[in-house]
Amino acid sequence: MPPNINQENNLPFKNEEVSTSSFFLEIAKFTVISILIVVPIRFFIAQPFIVRGESMDPTFKDGQYLIVDELTYRNDAPERGDVVVFKYPVDPSKYFIKRIIGLPNEEVYIKNGIVSIITSKNPKGIVLDEPYLKSISFENTTFVLGPNEYFVMGDNRSNSLDSRVWGALPVKNITGRVLVRLFPFQNAGMFPGKQTQ
């Protein structure tokens, strides 16, 4: 009687036994490889965050799940309009999400809620177009930024604890820019809230 033949490679079938120890060894290998891939990504490239509060409403709502790109700002400077996650300067154990309004060495001038940026090239100031705003506040103030400082504000201006209250954001506190909104699924997308000026 001829032996059983595997039709794909014409080799006789072998009765193979899978031992429990080899199964657990494979699981251990898979786990180690996963950790070696996921951990560096999680700590050095991208990080998940959940929005808490209403300071960025309507751009970002409470409970939305975001992925933050931690790699880009190692080579490129943050830009006006970027939505960033950062360590709160008053309490670095807390993370905030805000929009970059003022860049290093600029002057941010706010009058009746209208924001102007004054630079050496534009000493009269440029009024920002901010279509993302839900509400404005009507304070009048001026902030002068240093070489490594940013001015950040929430999109819900009347309900945001931001640079107007606690001052400039040091560049060292910036964790990264919002790369992806994952949840809710109907609002998922790349660079949500991105606004160039």
Look at residue 16 and tell me whether its pLDDT is greater than 90.
no
As a whole number, mean pLDDT of residues 15-43 equals 56
Model confidence over 161-187: pLDDT tens digits?
A: 999 999 999 999 999 888 877 766 666
Which residues, other chains included, contact 47 with Cβ-Cβ below 8 Å and sequence gap of 6+? 67, 68, 70, 175, 176
Q: Sorting pLDDT into bands at 50, 70 and 90, what band is 13? A: very low
Query: 117 pairs with which residues across the strands?
Result: 108, 126
pLDDT given at position 192: 73
Q: Give the whole-angstrom CA distance, residue 63 versus residue 181.
A: 11
pLDDT given at position 32: 57
Distances (CA, A) of 168 to 17, 193, 195: 66, 21, 20
Domain boundaries along the sequence of the chain: 74-177
Q: Sorting pLDDT into bands at 50, 70 and 90, what band is 86? A: very high
> Catalytic site residues?
55, 98
Domain spanning 74-177, CATH architecture: Ribbon (2.10)
Instruction: Give, rounded to a whole angstrom, the gap between the first and last alpha carbons of the chain.
Output: 81
